[in-house]
Chain A
């Protein structure tokens, strides 16, 4: 099942005078874990919001598992799980109530609701807090609730905006293991600004800068772009060189200084 699950063509987004995303093309197949990398404000979240239909693109199309998102949003929305930036959730709901609500929203009924909630709570290790209200959770647990919410219907596509943000090193490791496992048969797109994360979980790195893709390849290929003499933090060096070229380019500098 190695067909394209995500196809984005010419994705473009302007917010007034800000040109946040500039004609991004992206194809993701089952079995791929794509890491969106880029400095703050590069356009990672905006791109993911267009992939999930939260934002309508100024131009371009998104096709998810063969379904055009703009034409059939209700069908397309069933194909993915989405963790928005900051893992928003209702603070005064309990973890199990919140996940039950998501299960119902995903059209599960009757006993399936409890079964799905129990399974996902097990999967992302939330048993110890399942009866706590979300507002009382630590940042790490809150993020995992967001992850659980995205996984509850076992979707073929996962779009995760900063899934490990705010987690401690152990929790980060755990979530990365989970994502890598999930990615073996799904299309996963995650965003991060932690380079080691890309090496640890991603089969592919997509580097975004000022709304454009400046690198798309395996983490190993990215590593190979680093100059020979650097033997530590090689990815850091590639990241810096690829995301600072723009400021040296007089054409773009003029465009951004407006």
Chain B
């Protein structure tokens, strides 16, 4: 545990070592505000809840999470510090978990910066706080899944731009299999089992079901398994391709 925390501390601090973190957080806040108020019409709906914010959140995460995860391993490869890290007394699991948790914590900071919106809504009306808390959990779980997938992709390359692009595509695929248009299209010709399994692997379907206000075990389990499987794959990729 303490070995993981050594990695966590260095990684988390590294997000703030450059102005990039500030730029990122401001951009995140700006975009979430823009989506929520202008496109989502938070105030025009006459309803006190944060639904517009959470409905746009997956699409915001789709671009902002890969921006966090792209450097996780690609940068270590590029500057050669992967050789230092892996020859220090850490296990690969320490390294993968420490990095992932630091990235997740940073993403959580970004997401939780939106809490002033929550306060505003609570002040203007009487929202269902249970639904909002569940939705925040859903957003964090989705960010975690994207980060774990992105970490894996970052582990395969030295090039952050490639890591970013491939991660956006991968996360996009994870999202759109649950998109109504895709579901309709597929249900036109595929057996219903296929349609259902597509929905089952879609991060969007699970997220939307959380947005309804219940933190169902199946949905949590879905995100937990995406995270666990990706982290496991991440360890294997580093193990096999440490020196490439």
Binding site for B on A (CB under 8 A): 49, 52-55, 73-74, 77-78, 82, 84-86, 88-93, 97, 101-102, 104-107, 149
Contacts and interface: CB of A to CB of B under 8 A. Distances in A.
B87 A77 contact: yes
Interface in B46-80: 79-80
B81 A89 contact: yes
Q: Determine which residue in A88, A93, A106, A149 has the highest number of CB atoms from chain B within 10 A of its CB, and name it.
A: A88
B22 to A, nearest CB: 14
Contacts of B243: 49, 54-55
A84 B89 contact: no
Interface stretch (B10-18, B23-31, B164-172, B187-195): B10-18
Contacts of B13: 97
A106 B9 CA distance: 15
B91 interface: yes
A84 B83 contact: yes
Contact of B242 (A54, A85, A93, A149): A54
16 contacts: A49-B83, A54-B83, A54-B87, A54-B243, A77-B88, A84-B83, A84-B87, A86-B80, A88-B81, A88-B83, A89-B79, A90-B79, A93-B14, A101-B9, A105-B3, A106-B88
Contacts of B91: 73-74
A78 B84 contact: no
A92 B83 contact: no
B6 interface: yes
A52 B84 contact: no
B88 A91 contact: no
B86 interface: yes
Given A88-B80, A101-B10, A74 B18 contact: no
Interface string B181-211: 0000000000000000000000000000000
A21 to B, nearest CB: 13
Contacts of A77: 87-89
A15 to B, nearest CB: 9
Interface in B80-109: 80-81, 83-84, 86-91
Contacts, number: 62
A115 B57 CA distance: 47
Interface of B: 3, 6, 9-10, 13-14, 17-18, 79-81, 83-84, 86-91, 242-243
- Which of B3, B18, B84, B91 has the most C-beta atoms of chain A within 10 angstroms of its own C-beta? B84
Contacts of A89: 79, 81, 84
B80 A92 contact: no
A19 B73 CA distance: 28
Contacts of B87: 52-54, 77, 82, 84
B83 A90 contact: no
A104 B242 CA distance: 23
Contacts of A101: 6, 9-10
Contacts of B88: 77, 102, 105-106
B177 to A, nearest CB: 37
Given A74-B89, A84-B83, A106-B89, A92 B6 contact: no
B79 A88 contact: yes
Nearest to A53: B87
A48 to B, nearest CB: 10
A35 B73 CA distance: 33
Contacts of B79: 88-91
B6 A105 contact: yes
B224 to A, nearest CB: 28
